[in-house]
Every structure is written in C-alpha cells, then in structure tokens.
Structure 1
Amino acid sequence: MGDDFPKWWRAAVTFAVMSEDQTPNLGLHWYLFTTMFDQFRLFYVVALNAIPLALSAPLTLGFADDPLVAMTLCLIAISTCAPYPTANDFVTYVSLLSVVAMDDRGNPLVYVKYGAVIAGGFLYVALLSPLTWYMWIHTRVANANFYYAITLVYACTQTLLSTQVARSVARFRRAGKKRD
C-alpha cells in the first residue's frame, strides 16, 4: 500500500469504527448520533463497538464444541450492532444457518420457534425500508422516526433469530445427551 496506508486505514477501519457518516441506514448508530449531544459521542462509540466483542466471548465459550454455531451467532451479533450493515452480512449468517442445519447428528435448528415471525420480520424490513426511505427523502411525507422504526425491527428480528438458534442448539444437545 505504500504511502496510501494511512488514507486506506482511515477510509476502511476508522470510518466504520467511529461511525462518522450520519447517512441513514439499517444500522442502529446513525439515529443515536444525530440526536445526542457531542460530548457523549466517544462514550457511545466505544460502548456500541464493545457490545459485539463482549457477546463474542460467552458465545464462543458456550458453543465451544460447535464452532460453526458460535461463529454464526457471533456474525449475527456483529451484524446487529454494525454501524453500516450490508446485505452481505445478512446473507453470510443465513447461509451459515443452512450449513448448521445439515449436522451429522441431526438438525440442531429443529427446536426453533417463531420461524414465521422471524421470516416475516426480515420480509417486513426488505419491503418497507426502501419504501420509508423513499417517502422520507424524496416525497417528504415521512420522517426519520419511520425509517428508524424499520431499523429497530431489523435489530429485534436479528436478536430473536440469535436467541432462537442458541436455544434450539442447546435443547438439541440436551436431547442428544438423554438419548446417549
């Protein structure tokens, strides 16, 4: 990278960590940073970036014998707390969930409840986020609160998915130990 390394580092790493761009997206950070006082910004930047790190350690330890499940749950947590989530984040952990379901011992996701609610939540976000964006930015008949409500639905749906996957895998393990 030569002389361009500092420029690259600022554009790739510092930009994402510091949440400098306040453009509305499906991340939870933009609304918080546009409505709070500047003196609290550093605290919230550190806190919001520490949440996925703090969640990764217990998930990794709790699912140490199932590293693919641990990695999938960590990716869901990272995507939920990301300042700029992308479709790539969603596609990555959803595709890994299909691999988790193909376990040799059976499908550990067999105990997932609320699958229709989770699928409906993601469909709701996929349909309404571009609509509320258009209504807010172009036609000016909506405001930031409508769009942020969609980001909250997205975060809640991801949280529900991760708790259901963790619960299902744990229940599948207990059922397997009872059979043995």
Structure 2
Amino acid sequence: MRGILLLYGVGAVLRLWLLNTSTLADTIQARVELSTPLNGWLRVKEGVFLQSEGVPVYSGGVYHETPLMLFIAGFLIRSWSSWLHAVFVACDLLTAFTLSALAAAYTKKLLQEQEQQASQYTKDSAHLLLSPSTLQRCAGDVAAVYLLCPYTVLSCVAMTTTTFHNLLLATALLAMIKGHGVLFGALVAVVTYEAVYPAVILVPGLIALYQQQQDTATQGYCYPGKASPSGGWSVVGKSLLSCLATAAVLLLVSSEIAGGWDFIDATYGFILTAPDLTPNIGLFWYFFTEMFEHFRLFFLAVFQLNALVYVAPLCVRLRGDPVLLSTALLALSAVFRSYPSLGDVGFYLALLPTCRHLYPFLRQSFLVGCMLVASSVLGPIMYNLWIYSGAANANFYFAVTLAFNTAQIFLVTDLLFGHVKRQHLLMSGSSMTVDGQPARLTLE
C-alpha cells in the first residue's frame, strides 16, 4: 500500500512541478506532438474568449472541440482558474486508478477462465499457465506505466483535453469488464461525442457483455447464476439504447449551447475531412500536403476506413479477450486517426501490462522499443531543424513520424501473434513436428 501511495505521489509531484515551471510548461504546450487542433488548451481558451465576446465560436478555424467541452472549459477558466493545474493532475491520477481497477478485474477473469478450461490444456503446457503471483502485480504496473510514461506525463503538462478523454475511456473500459451495460453504453457515447474514434470499443464491449450474460458464475468475470438465453441480447439492447439515447441528448444539449447545428461541421466534419495540415505524429498531414486535390476525397475515405476496417476481423478472432481486443483497436485508432497525439499512445501503452502472459511470445519487443525511443527523441529535433533552423525539411520530420507509427503497428502485430501462439500451445502442446521433424510457429 505504501508503494502505491508513493507511486501516485511521484506522479502527482512530477506533473505539478512541470506545470508550475512556466518556461517548461509553455514549451511543452506548444509541441505539435502533444497539442493538436483538436485537443490544444490554447485553442480552448481562445474559444472561451470568443464566446465571452459574443463572437460565433465555430465561424472561424480556431476552435474544433464540442460545445459541451467549451461549456466545461469556460466554467473551469472562470471559476477554477487557480486550480486548473490540480484539475488536470487529479484527472490523470483518477485515470491511473481506474486503469489499475480494470487490470485487477481482468487478471481475476484470466485466472478464473484458466481454471474452467484447465481440462482442455495439454500436459506439457503447464509452464504456460498463469499464476496468481505473476498477475497480482499487474494492477500496480498499469498504474505505474500510466503515471510515469513520458507520453501521458507530457500530455497532462500540455493541458490537452486528451486528459479528460482518457479518463472517460478508462471508465468505459472498466464498466465493460464489470458488466455494467447501461453505464458502458452511456460512456462510449460521451467519449465518442468528444473524440469520434473511441467508438471502436463499442463492439468489443457488446461482445463482452453478451458473453458475461451467457456464462455461468464460474466462468470468467460473469454474473452469478446462469443467464437466460435471451439475457445476452437483452443487455446488448440496453447498452445500445443507452448509447444512442446519451448521444441524442448530448447533441441536443450541444445545439442549445452553440445556438445551432454549425458545430457538427466544425467538429466532426473537421475530424473526417482533416483540412488543417499542421504537422503532428500522424500520417494525414504529409500525404495530403503532397496530394493533388482531385485525389483528396478518395484517400480521405481510405485513411479514415483504416481506423475502422480492422474492427470486424479482430472481433471475430479475439472475441474471448475483450481487453486485448480493445487495446489492439485503440492502438490502431491512435495510428490512423486524423489528429493523433502522444496522449492517445500513452493510454494504450498503459494497458500493455495486462498482456504480461504474452511477453514470452513477443519477438519484436526490442526492435519496437528502440524505434519508439529513437523516434521520440528525433521527432522534436527534426521539427526544430525544419521549422526554426531551416536546416531540414518536412521529409525529415515525416520520416520520424512514419517510423513511430510503424513501431506501433509492429507492436500490435506482435501482441496478436503472441496471443494466437499461446492459445495454440495451450491446446496442442509445445512439441510440434512436421513430417517427423521438429517445427516452430512463425509469422509470415
């Protein structure tokens, strides 16, 4: 317990120290890797100022967040201005706590599932089985990664609204694994209303809720007793209804705050069409800077579909592991969204300790780690050489961001292959032969 309190204390002190060091905080807030046209606090403050002056907030190209975020930010700036730093730090600490609770529930589910399926495993796969001592540190590791990861620390110091999005997303995932269908649907609607791309967790959540209702009390992390045949579809229907009703209420309230429906084009239209080509850690800005205008619509559709097209096949393959499925989908959406930030990357990286049982099967962890570290260091250097020194050009910076995103794809691929390989070895044993000769599984 003392170690956990120390961990949270270090995370809070580190963030508060950076936030109250004006030179560092101003520099961090200006970094394009952290602040994008969608989450930058400077743009939020500009939107609040325009609203206070009676100027239509969405008539220009400055503010692209939702009206509800504008309302909340306006309240914080006017009434809690001296406590703003504490609000952001508290949200980050609460996110870490929520993720640790998620990890604790997930590891409990893994152990229960292993106990139920033990009869199906081969005798020579005993060394692959999970032990409580191995998984009991998982919750603390998740909190440690989120609290100390440079990506999440800097995102909080930059005062990006991604801090709030991560809290909503973590709470939605916790509601999913705890089986609270109505709450899960409502939270997915809220986080999708704010950032669009987190909608990818809706399908994994519905699958998880359905399975919980169909399982017995001894299987996984389900409810006590055996569910009725229609129980699974009932909770799915309630979750969908909750999601749709919450989304409708949010849009109606937003239209009242904004005084019309212009905000839809300025927020969701902005996300989908990506007209602002300010450099960031994503892929959109460079391609659409170099692209001929008559190809733009086609490639916009292709790029946006990349964030969604993997939902169906991954849900089919990983339907029994909703947390791994959600982690993979969030990682892919962090790569293929139009305006990604390091805060999005840091969130799903904090979920990796929940995949501790897959670590022995990872084959590209060293390569991925080196690529992430190298690109994280070289990115700001190349940007400064390009923008301030004039000693480089856009190709240098984009090469670094391309390596950064490639590393994320390698990471997701490695995790998924590790999961498939472990499942195969549990069911078929670790001794594999082909035509009487020793063989091993490889990814082609």
Q: TM-score, normalised by structure 1?
A: 0.91
Q: Match of 2:210?
A: none
**Aligned residue number for residue 38 of structure 1:** 293
Does the residue aligned with 1:135 lie in a helix, a strand or coil? helix
Q: Take 1:6 and 1:18, find their aligned partners in 2: how far apart are those partners? A: 18
- Retained in 2: the 8 A contact 1:60–1:71? no
Q: CA deviation at 1:116?
A: 1.2
Paired letter, 2:387: I
Residue 3 of structure 1 deviates from its aligned partner by 5.2
Q: Shift of residue 78 of structure 1?
A: 0.9
Letter in 2 for 1:157: A
**In the alignment, what sits opposite 1:156?**
406
Q: Secondary structure at the match of 1:129?
A: helix
In structure 1, how many angstroms separate the alpha carbons of the residues matched to 2:411 and 2:366?
11
Cα distance per residue 1:132-180 (max 9 Å; x no partner): 000000000000000110111012101110110000011111122135x
Aligned to 2:266: 11
Query: What amino acid does structure 2 have at the position aligned with 1:23?
Result: T
2:319 is matched by which residue type in structure 1? A
Amino acid at match of 2:384: Y
CA shift digits 1:86-113 (9 cap, x unpaired): 1121111111111232xxxxx1232001
SS of 1:45's partner is helix
1:73, distance to aligned residue in structure 2 (A): 0.9
Instruction: Give the partner amino acid of 2:282.
Output: G
After TM superposition, give the deviation of residue 13 of structure 1 in Å: 1.7
Could you tell me which of 32, 46, 55 is aligned with 2:310?
Answer: 55
- What do the CA deviations read for 1:56-77 (whole angstroms, capped 9, x no partner)? 1111111011111111111111
Cα distance in 2 for residues equivalent to 1:173 and 1:112? 14
* Paired position in structure 1 for 2:336: 81
- Give 4+ residue runs of structure 1 displaced > 6 Å after superposition: none
What is the SS of the residue equivalent to 1:54?
coil
Question: 1:139 matched to which residue of 2?
Answer: 389
Q: Is the 8 A contact 1:109 1:169 kept in 2?
A: no
| Pair 1:92-2:347 in alignment | yes
1:175 pairs with one of 425, 436, 441: 425
| Cα separation, 2, equivalents of 1:176 and 1:12 | 47
* Letter of the structure 1 residue corresponding to residue 388 of structure 2: H
Aligned residues: 174
**Which one of 374, 382, 386 corresponds to residue 124 of structure 1?**
374
- Give yes or no for contact 1:28–1:83 (8 Å, CA) kept in 2: yes
CA distance in 1, matches of 2:403, 2:318: 27
Q: Tell me which of 114, 122, 138 is aligned to 2:364.
A: 114
Q: Equivalents in 1 of 2:335, 2:413: separation in Å?
A: 13
**Residue 376 of structure 2 contacts residue 404 of structure 2 at CA under 8 Å; is this kept in 1?**
no
Q: Which amino acid aligns with 1:45?
A: L
CA RMSD, 1 decimal: 1.4
SS in 1 for 2:267: helix
Instruction: Between 42-51 and 4-13, report the one with greater CA deviation.
Output: 4-13
Q: Which secondary structure does the structure 1 equivalent of 2:319 belong to?
A: coil
The offset of 1:22, in angstroms, is 0.6
Counterpart-to-counterpart distance in 2, 1:116 and 1:129 = 20
Which residue identity lines up with residue 323 of structure 2 in the other structure? L
TM-score, normalising length: structure 2: 0.38
Instruction: Specify whether residues 8 and 110 from structure 1 end up closer, same or farther in structure 2 by C-alpha distance, changes over 3 A only.
Output: farther
Structure 1 residue runs of 5 or longer lacking an equivalent are 102-106
Distance 2:420 2:359 in 1: 10
Structure number with bigger Rg: 2
Q: Report SS of the residue matched to 1:100.
A: helix
Which deviates more, 76-85 or 128-137?
76-85
Q: SS of 1:110's equivalent?
A: helix
Match of 1:28 among 249, 270, 283: 283
What SS does the aligned partner of 1:138 have? helix
Contact 1:17/1:49 (CA < 8 Å) preserved in 2? Answer: yes
The amino acid that maps onto 2:426 is G
Other-structure match for 1:104 = none
Give the Cα separation in 2 of the matches to 1:6 and 1:134: 39
In the alignment, the residues of structure 1 paired with residue 408 and residue 428 of structure 2 have an alpha-carbon distance, to the nearest angstrom, of: 30
Q: Which amino acid aligns with 2:336?
A: C
Please, which moves more after superposition, 77-86 or 138-147?
77-86
Q: Which residue of 2 aligns with 1:72?
A: 327
2:389 aligned counterpart, secondary structure? coil
| Code of the aligned partner of 1:83 | S
